[in-house]
Amino acid sequence: MPARASKKTDRKVRRIAAGTRRSGRPRAATAASRIYSDLRGELVSLQRRPGEAVSEAQIALSYGVSRTPVREAILKLSDEGLLEIYPQSGIFVSRIPVAALPEAIIIRKALEETTARLAAERATSSQKLALRSILERQREASAAGDSETFHRADETFHATVADVAGYPGIWKYIQQVKVHVDRYRRLTLPQRGRIATVIVEHEAILTAIEAHDAEGARRAMEIHLESLLENISATQHINPEYFDERP
């Protein structure tokens, strides 16, 4: 191909690429991802309360986008069971399905007992220090009455145990399974003595990991997550409006 023709072709390709960027398709995809991530965080953290109406138009306005990326994010969240869409009535934050909690907790417990056991077998000195630092962050958050920082550190503690075990993918899978458990857990933290109990339980897990006591770490994790099963009824009784009792 002559050099001049080649240059024309290159310019044409660049114009097409630029046109694609201007058309907004990549931006729409990025906007949908951002809206999905932000909205999911608000739903899981209970910033948006179960039963609350969600306005597609309002979200689009706040992000300065069309309704298309908002609708895409909402459909994805509906598939996860976090939003309920009623064509003639609107979009609402779903309530926490009580029937789904025990199974999700049992799956999580089985997987995390494994990661705790493996972490105790494999933990290096620097990994032990990293876990100890996370636990200290939880103590500081507890002393400051900062439940949001405490919760984030809690997530990091469990994710790091899986990482130390050598299977970080297990934690990614657990995150998919436990979406409603996370919403439920947010309601347990304000209960009297709950945060202090979590710290004690994490200390037991970490102490066993530091001692390379695999069975002790497994058992400590089992005890820690078992309490989630035991607290469902009490938490539901305190906050009945957050839960859906349908089978």
For residues 9-39, one letter each, b for 16 or more C-beta atoms within 10 angstroms of the residue's C-beta and e for the rest, the string is eeeeeeeeeeeeeeeeeeeeeebbeebbeeb
Q: Is residue 200 packed enough to be buried (19+ CB in 10 Å), middle (13-18) or exposed (0-12)?
A: exposed
Residues in contact with 76: Cβ distance below 8 Å, sequence separation at least 6, in sequence order: 36
- Distance CA(24)–CA(14), nearest Å, equals 16
Identify the CA nearest to 46 among candidates 118, 133, 151.
151
For residues 163-191, one letter each, b for 16 or more C-beta atoms within 10 angstroms of the residue's C-beta and e for the rest, the string is bbbebeebbeebeebbbbbbbbbbbbeee
Give the residues of the chain that fall short of pLDDT 70. Answer: 1-29
Residues in contact with 23: Cβ distance below 8 Å, sequence separation at least 6, in sequence order: none
pLDDT of 20: 41
| Residue 191, phi-psi category: left (phi > 0), alpha (psi -120 to 50), beta (remainder) | beta
Task: For residue 84, list its beta bridge partners.
Answer: 92
DSSP code of 193? T
Identify the CA nearest to 41 among candidates 175, 137, 156.
175
Task: Say if residues 98 and 245 touch (Cβ distance below 8 Å).
Answer: yes
pLDDT of 28: 56
pLDDT of 27: 59
Q: Is residue 231 packed enough to be buried (19+ CB in 10 Å), middle (13-18) or exposed (0-12)?
A: middle
Amino acid at 242: Y
In the chain the domains, ranked by start, together with CATH numbers, are: 3-94 (1.10.10.10), 98-244 (1.20.120.530)
pLDDT of 29: 66
Task: Say if residues 81 and 170 touch (Cβ distance below 8 Å).
Answer: no
Residue 1 parent element (H or E): none
